[in-house]
Amino acid sequence: MDCKKIYKSLFFLILFFSASALYAQQTVITGTVTDAGNKQTLPSVSISFTGTTTGTTADVNGKYRLVTSNQEYKQIKVSFLGYKDAFLAVVPGKEQVINVRLFPASQQLNEVVVKSGKKPKYRNKDNPAVELIRKVIENKEKNRPEAYDYVEYKEYDKMMFALSNVSAQFSDRKFFRKYKFILDNRDSSLVPGKSLLPIYLDEKLQQVYYRKNPEKTREDITGQKSVNYGPGIDNEGLTQYFKHLYNKVDIYTNNVFLITSQFLSPISDNSPNYYKYFIADTIVDAHNNKLVKLDFTPRNSTDVLFEGSIYITLDGNYAVQKCDLTINKHININFIRSMNVNLEFQQNPDGRYHLSKSTTIADFGASKKDAKSGLFGIRAITYSNYVVNKPHPDTTYQGSQYAELSDEVKHRPESFWQENRPDTLRTAEAKVYKNIDSLRNMPSFKRTVDIATLLLAGYKGFGKFELGPANTFYSFNPVEGFRLRVGGRTTPELSKRYYFETYAAYGFKDERWKYFLSATYSLNDKSIYRFPQNYIRASFQRDTKIPGANLQFVQEDNFLLSFKRGVNDKFLYNDFYRFDYVHELQSHFSYAAGFKKWTQEPAGSLYFDNIINDLPNSIHHLTTTELTASVRWAPHEQFYQGKIYRIPIPNKYPAFELDYASGIKGLFAGEYNYQKLDFRADKRFYFSQLGYADINASAGKIFGSVPYPLLTIHRANQTYAYDIDSYNLMNFLEFVSDKYASFRIDQHFSGFFFNKIPLLKKLKWRETASVKVLYGGLSDQNNPSIHPSLYQLPVGADGVPITYTLGKTPYVEGSVGIENIFKFIRIDFVKRFTYLDQPNVAQWGLRTRLKFDF
């Protein structure tokens, strides 16, 4: 007899039965919750084991899955606002299906309602649920981690996105057969009723240290791992954008930021004015702590509020021990079918609680009514090894939290992750890294990315060089007539340090060539388009420009911007010789220095002339030589990286910028001495239910005597597109100043008013309003009416002035608008309030803007 075979067989038998016994010990309950009357499924229903906090929430289709290994749990409780609680027996250690029918609670009160004729009115006064929530609010500060002098913990952050319910008919198409290894990697057990196909996974492990005085938080990232789709897709930008949508949830703050919206916390300082609270149950947890389950719902279902349940301790701390949050389906948010947030807290040795796990789940789709296919995202954060009031040397809290990750941190072996993950990856999740690595090397996928890049970013790649941008190939204007342009730039495949960019354009009316050439050298061995930038660049440009036109995020020869209102035939031919040095730090402080030689030649109906000996004198061109410097600080700034530009991801932090330029007469034919200072500050303010406002304040001054082309030509916009930073009813070259101060506020109400109007709320439109105020002036030394030797301000063919200076009255324009029309269109009615007596002035107008948002 072979003893080894016997031992091996016994080993596998023991292993098999141990696994079977372990599985048998688990109680697995699945089912669907429906309304007993109309048989409709009920979403977001709370299902828990009776007398415990172990539970789950039904999904948008009313399906749920509840698992436990505790053999003492023999009953589940199913509760939902407006319905009677249901209690159902379960068989411990078995997998079972329990479908639940809930009866409306109003059935219990039918006789009372008939007799009284009135439904009892909800009141805050003498309401024990409201009195309890006020106790929670009073004790918020002592229950936050920041109440401790020192805190440290280990944080594991996992984010996964998956396609949901991809049909077999779709995956069986001939085109997708080559991607079968991707399409077969599905998970049907994570969410009841959904087949998930993981396409994105990001994991991060870090040690966090907090010190109260002086306050400092340091995050030491010890490992980070993410799928990589290749150079055609900005993987880091995707990660930042996804985490921006799935912000960390702190229930103790007044507002919770999720999916670009700000939700009022159910325990915010003024939450009783917006929420209704109901005491649902009193339970005792596994540690013999008495808790109150408090259900809450919005007073107005269209406001940006949560609904759900919180579990509150009755030990005198009134801390949150557990929290389940869902968003109401009536909220004015695009592309979100459902969203759930689950927060779990653990008790510290001193009796207080800390957050131990946060799970945010969202179901995305083009339509809320179609609950079939779409995108499903989960962010799960686990907090462990929680230690309080343990001080460390000052060096532990020092250093920048923006330090770039080392290759070792970004390429940890799988053994590291197996040791440090709090939970094992699901089978489908574990395969996604390898599958995406295989996908990005497939020629067909690379071609698809190339086509998408051309359509979205406007560039067509050819390996070491890419051609574009496509939207500038053809345009037209009054000076050049039809304009054709072709250009491109090198890619990192040629070099990660050297970059070249060029274009050539030809105007068929002025019969002139325009061109641009730049050479850039990266000083940090990274793409010059990625944060943090650190490069030197030399460039030359010969091209046309409208004085005062500087539109946001678009190029002026974009075909769509060829369509303009009014007269716009005053151009400049510019020659720019530039040398620039840019250095961004990980702290988001940056500085730059440069040299610029600028020659301006009037074009179209624009001219340069002055008065010499009482006679007009025509000037062919103006040349200046400048040395420039600038500093910028934008704390916590994040970007979504594009091919042509990078787009800042809005947040609550300000951005400050100071620019300085010094003109030097006699240096490379420079004609004037002057100094110029410009300052701007930008900040987004969130107002909870009233949406948010983008506010800008700017100011500038020129020191020295200069002609009008060197003055501040205020940013005008004669296109039909609404531009945030420009004055949309100001004409090009209408106002010049040598000192100015401006203020702009762009308020987005997020549907606060429309949501309360029965017909409008179905359209999901959102209100906007803006005000722009500009103060400016011209000192005597730069006034050509006092000093005729200065360039005269332009006049029209009829001799009427077209360029003015601002007096004591500011330039003011405002707008009211509607955004989220068809989910991406904004239309503004713009009104100009001052300087209406000037010629060719538009007092009002309609402007549009494309904006994708949730």
The pLDDT-based confidence of 16 (bands split at 50, 70, 90) is very low
For residues 99 and 32, the answer to whether their CB atoms sit within 8 Å is yes
CA distance 227 to 622: 53
The pLDDT-based confidence of 40 (bands split at 50, 70, 90) is confident
Kindly report the number of other CB atoms within 10 A of residue 635's CB atom.
Answer: 13
CA distance 135 to 420: 38
Choose from 304-308, 433-437, 487-491, 694-698 the range with maximum mean pLDDT: 694-698
CATH label of the domain that carries residue 77: 2.60.40.1120
Is position 744 within any domain? yes
Q: Which residue shows structure tokens 């996804």? A: 242
Average pLDDT over residues 689-715: 94
CA angle 829, 833, 834 (to 5 degrees): 145
Is position 346 within any domain? yes
Same domain, 374 and 262: yes
- Residue 187 DSSP code: B
**Closest C-alpha among 449, 339, 361, 439 to residue 162:** 361
437-493 pLDDT, tens digit per residue, is 888 888 888 788 778 777 777 788 888 888 888 888 888 888 999 999 999 999 888
- Domain edge (last residue) among 443, 478, 504: 443
Strands (E), 585-713: 589-604, 608-612, 615-619, 622-633, 638-641, 646-649, 655-663, 674-686, 692-703, 712-713
Percentage of residues in the chain having pLDDT higher than 90: 48
pLDDT value of residue 810 = 97
**Closest C-alpha among 562, 564, 537 to residue 473:** 562
Is position 764 within any domain? yes
Is position 570 within any domain? no
The pLDDT-based confidence of 645 (bands split at 50, 70, 90) is low
Task: Give the side-chain half-sphere CA count within 13 A for 255.
Answer: 17
pLDDT value of residue 38 = 74
Range of lowest pLDDT (12-26, 274-288, 537-551): 12-26
With 0-12 CB in 10 A as exposed, 13-18 as middle and 19+ as buried, what is 120? exposed
- Domain edge (last residue) among 409, 427, 443: 443
* Residue-wise burial string across 588-623, b where 16 or more C-beta atoms lie within 10 A, e elsewhere: bbbebebbbbbbbbbbbebebebeeeeeeeeeeebe
Is position 645 within any domain? no
Same domain, 141 and 29: no
Q: Give Cα separations from 342 to 86, 282, 325 (angstroms).
A: 22, 20, 6
Same domain, 103 and 149: no
Same domain, 325 and 411: yes
Range of lowest pLDDT (227-236, 744-753, 835-844): 227-236
Same domain, 325 and 420: yes
Higher pLDDT, 239 or 673: 673
CA angle 777, 778, 783 (to 5 degrees): 155
Range of lowest pLDDT (235-249, 347-361, 618-632): 235-249
For residues 30 and 97, the answer to whether their CB atoms sit within 8 Å is yes
Q: What is the mean pLDDT of the chain?
A: 85
Is position 790 within any domain? yes
Across-strand partners of 55?
A: 48
Same domain, 226 and 78: no
Domain that holds residue 818: 673-854
For residues 712 and 700, the answer to whether their CB atoms sit within 8 Å is yes
pLDDT value of residue 285 = 75
Alpha helix ranges (H) inside 109-215? 110-116, 128-138, 140-143, 168-171, 180-183
CA distance 561 to 475: 8
**Confidence (pTM):** 0.79
- Domain edge (last residue) among 416, 443, 470: 443
Same domain, 430 and 282: yes
Task: Give the side-chain half-sphere CA count within 13 A for 11.
Answer: 6
500-532 pLDDT, tens digit per residue, is 999 999 999 999 999 999 999 999 877 787 788
- The phi, psi pair for 180, rounded to 5°, reads -60, -35
With 0-12 CB in 10 A as exposed, 13-18 as middle and 19+ as buried, what is 587? middle
- Res. 555: pLDDT tops 60: no
Same domain, 50 and 136: no
- Res. 118: pLDDT tops 90: no
Rg value, the chain, Cα: 32
pLDDT value of residue 52 = 76
Same domain, 219 and 89: no
Higher pLDDT, 743 or 91: 743
Range of lowest pLDDT (147-156, 305-314, 448-457): 448-457
192-228 pLDDT, tens digit per residue, is 777 888 889 999 999 999 999 999 999 999 999 999 8
**Closest C-alpha among 700, 673, 581 to residue 629:** 581
Percentage of residues in the chain having pLDDT higher than 70: 90
CA 259 to chain centre: 8
Q: Give Cα separations from 818 to 303, 664, 746, 764, 800 (angstroms).
A: 18, 48, 13, 10, 37
Same domain, 343 and 292: yes
pLDDT value of residue 553 = 42
- Res. 235: pLDDT tops 80: no
Q: Which residue shows structure tokens 């061995």? A: 525
Across-strand partners of 514?
A: 505
Average pLDDT over residues 421-446: 86
Average pLDDT over residues 623-647: 83
CA angle 268, 271, 272 (to 5 degrees): 140
Domain count, the chain: 3
CA 760 to chain centre: 26
DSSP per-residue codes, 259-318: TTEEEEPTTSTTGGGTEEEEEEEEEE-TTS-EEEEEEEEESSTTSSBEEEEEEEE-SSS-
Same domain, 27 and 135: no
pLDDT value of residue 368 = 61
CA distance 551 to 556: 7
Residue 136's SS3 state is helix
Higher pLDDT, 204 or 188: 204
pLDDT value of residue 522 = 92
Is position 638 within any domain? no
Q: Give Cα separations from 483 to 474, 506, 541 (angstroms).
A: 6, 6, 16
CA distance 23 to 47: 22
**Closest C-alpha among 628, 680, 809 to residue 735:** 809
59-103 pLDDT, tens digit per residue, is 767 888 888 878 888 899 888 766 788 899 898 888 899 999 988
Is position 468 within any domain? no
Same domain, 198 and 305: yes
For residues 267 and 140, the answer to whether their CB atoms sit within 8 Å is yes
Write out the two tokens for 799. 């001799």
Average pLDDT over residues 726-753: 94
Range of lowest pLDDT (364-368, 398-402, 520-524, 553-557): 553-557
